[in-house]
Structures are given as C-alpha cells and as structure tokens.
C-alpha cells in the first residue's frame, strides 16, 4: 500500500516520459483484466435501520477501490452530530471515493449535497451509481419492503430513496482549481452564503504535495462565518505522521482559520494487515474541525 501511495502521472521514476505510441505496445491480453467492482455495506449507528451499500471501482490508482476506515468513522461522527452539521445544510465533499459520508448526509436531511472526486470517468460514473443505488433499508430490520430510509440520531423520519438521491449531485474537481462551478451548484436560496455549510475531507492529507491545493479549495468553498470543514484521516505511513499534520499548520498559518481536534478512534484492525510502520498507529483515525475565526466574515 505504501509504495502505491507515491503515484506518478505517466512518467518514469527518472522523470522521463514513457509514452512511445505503439512502438513498444504489449500484445493483447498482456495485462490482467481490471477486477470487477465490489460492494461494501455501512450500517448506521442504532437506532437507525438505514444501510448504505456502496459500489467500489475494481481498481484505481486514485484509491477509489477501497472504503477507508476514516470514511466510516467520519460517517459515524456526522451521524451523531447531524443536527449541527447536516440537517437543512449544504454539504460538499472532496476526494470522495465511493462517497459514503455524502450519501449519509443526504439521508440525514441535508438541503443539498455535492460529492466530488478527481475528474476520472470511472470514479465519477461510480459516484453516480452510488447516488441512485447505495441507500437501502437494513435487511435485518423489521420494516416493509418499500424502498425507504430513516434519519438517525433524532426523530424517525421515513424518506423515499429517490428523494434522497435528488439531493445529491456528482462532479469532477481538481483540488485548488477554480471553485465557481461548485459554488454554482448551491441551491438558489443558499447562494448568498458564498459557500457550503459543511465540507468533508476524508483520508486526503496523506497526499502531502496537495496540502496547499486542499487548503485553497477549503478557503474558496467554506461558508462564512459559520462553515465547518471536517478533516478525518489515518496515519497510513506512521513515519510521515508529522508531514500529515503539517496540513493543520498550514491552516493555522492563514491567520483567519482555527483547527480543533474532535475525535481519536482506534480501529480493531489496520486497513492493511501487512504494511510498514507501527500497526497501532495505522489503526488510528483522527478527526478535526476547521472553522473561520470570529470576524473572518467581515474581512
């Protein structure tokens, strides 16, 4: 896993371009076929009977083929704080992968959800599939067979699955790029806010070269003065933990944003059984909130 985290954009390790047209093309069947998609179910915390079964792409250099521990724990945190983070609020997720936290937000009564990932056709098609297929009733619950979902950590509210899907929009987005297309996706009655109420960044800050781009995207899209950005992550490479945490140093250095740790959770097992680094560290999930400092809206 750790070797694959250091991905390249079509260049060899020495920086040379390896593209040579068809001169050195391998014969048909040389590479194994792409694995088929897989499905993973996330059951909400009791008393909810909602289950979200996401489809994962078969393989992706962008890691969209896995449902990460940080995504599950972020979803649990969102569920238990739905009143102040989700209900009747606008949600934007970066680097969403399968989109579990965003799907949950739509089910819990968000006004609108925009779920984004790198503009790769396979990833975006998979997000669109999950938008319309992922939310179902837990098969073990004693409910009828009518497609429905319940809000949790609050009143039991039956909502038709198609209604939930209509709250979600999927889009391709490169971190640090112009955010106007994302802001244009806000509902008309919310556009005056100039940003989204809640941003979600789940297991993204391992990509150290993208810290400044991620911060730029947060600053361009987080509503003032009361927006909240959730940043959840696992130190997959324990020896680079300080580099992971440097993201929050960059945030604080802006002078107009605050960082607050809100969660520390140890999983039963790490994402990868065989991997470098202390397993106890690799089992951890940390959660942080990023907010504007008081008065930032008037600056």
Binding-site annotation: residue ranges for S-adenosyl-L-methionine: 68, 95-97, 117, 175, 202
Query: Hey, which residues does 113 pair with through a beta bridge?
Result: 91, 168
CA distance 221 to 226: 12
Rounded-to-integer distance, Cα 205 and Cα 94, Å: 11
Of 47, 87, 66, 56, which is closest to residue 5 (Cα–Cα)?
66
Tokens 């996330």 appear where?
Answer: 42
Kindly state the tokens that stand for 138. 């837990």
Q: Which residues are annotated as a binding site?
A: 68, 95-97, 117, 175, 202
Q: How many Cα atoms within 13 Å fall on the side-chain side of residue 206?
A: 25
In this structure, are residues 168 and 131 in contact, taking their beta carbons and an 8 Å threshold?
yes
Secondary structure of residue 245 in the 3-state scheme? helix
Alpha helices in 10-92 (DSSP H): 69-80, 82-85
Torsion sign, CA atoms 38, 160, 120, 238: negative
The answer to whether 41 and 51 are in contact (CB under 8 A) is: yes
Q: Quick one: 170 exposed, middle or buried, by C-beta within 10 A (0-12, 13-18, 19+)?
A: buried
């Amino acid at each position: 896993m750790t070797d694959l985290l250091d991905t390249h954009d079509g260049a060899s390790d020495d920086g040379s371009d390896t593209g040579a047209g068809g001169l050195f093309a391998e014969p048909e069947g040389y590479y194994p076929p792409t694995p088929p998609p897989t499905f993973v179910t996330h059951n909400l915390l009791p008393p909810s009977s909602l289950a979200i079964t996401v489809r994962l792409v078969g393989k992706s250099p962008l890691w969209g083929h896995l449902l990460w521990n940080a995504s599950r724990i972020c979803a649990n945190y969102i569920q238990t704080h739905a009143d102040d983070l989700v209900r009747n609020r606008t949600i934007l997720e970066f680097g969403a992968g399968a989109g579990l936290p965003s799907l949950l937000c739509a089910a819990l009564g968000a006004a609108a959800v925009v779920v984004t990932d790198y503009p790769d056709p396979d990833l975006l098609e998979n997000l669109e599939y999950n938008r319309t297929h992922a939310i179902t009733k837990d098969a073990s619950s004693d409910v009828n067979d009518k497609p429905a979902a319940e809000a949790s950590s609050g009143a039991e509210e039956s909502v038709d699955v198609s209604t939930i899907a209509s709250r979600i929009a999927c889009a391709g987005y490169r971190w640090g790029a112009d955010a106007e297309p994302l802001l244009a996706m806000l509902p008309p009655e919310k556009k005056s806010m100039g940003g989204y109420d809640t941003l979600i960044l789940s297991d993204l800050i391992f990509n150290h070269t993208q810290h400044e781009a991620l911060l730029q995207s947060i600053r361009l899209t987080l509503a003032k003065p009361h927006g909240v950005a959730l940043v959840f992550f696992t130190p997959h490479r324990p020896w680079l933990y300080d580099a992971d945490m440097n993201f929050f140093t960059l945030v604080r250095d802006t002078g107009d944003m605050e960082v607050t740790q809100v969660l520390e959770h140890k999983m039963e097992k790490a994402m990868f059984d065989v991997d470098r680094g202390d397993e106890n560290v690799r089992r951890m999930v940390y959660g942080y909130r990023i907010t504007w400092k008081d008065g930032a809206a008037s600056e």
